[in-house]
Amino acid sequence: MDILYLVDRIEAILHAGQKVPLSSKVIVARADGKAEEIRAGADQYALEVLRALEAHMSKTMETVRGGIKTLEESIRESQEGVPPGNGA
């Protein structure tokens, strides 16, 4: 469509006293609705990413705690003169 045709069409509608089909209020309302959909989707995605990160961090913390425990036992056994792996 040609821009001049659209301008002429809008002017004809306005001169005829008819309402413009897409008023600024309708456009804003549609934009607000779309923005809310986007925000809701972004929030859901962020929640999923954070939950996955939490699960990954929990596994990492288990590994770290296991490493700390192993090193503490090794240090304790070496201080007691017990060869590593042969202590209680």
Q: Give pLDDT tens digits for 32-80.
A: 888 988 989 999 999 999 999 999 999 999 999 999 999 999 999 999 8
pLDDT per position as a tens digit, 17-39? 656 566 777 777 888 888 988 98
Q: Cβ contacts of residue 77 below 8 Å, gap of 6+?
A: 83, 84, 86, 87
Q: Residue 19 — φ and ψ, nearest 5°? A: -80, 145
Cα 6 to Cα 56: distance, rounded to the nearest angstrom = 56
Q: Is 71 helix (H, G, I), strand (E, B) or coil?
A: helix
pLDDT of residue 83: 62
pTM of the entire structure? 0.52
Cα 35 to Cα 41: distance, rounded to the nearest angstrom = 10
Give the mean model confidence (pLDDT) for residues 10-23: 68
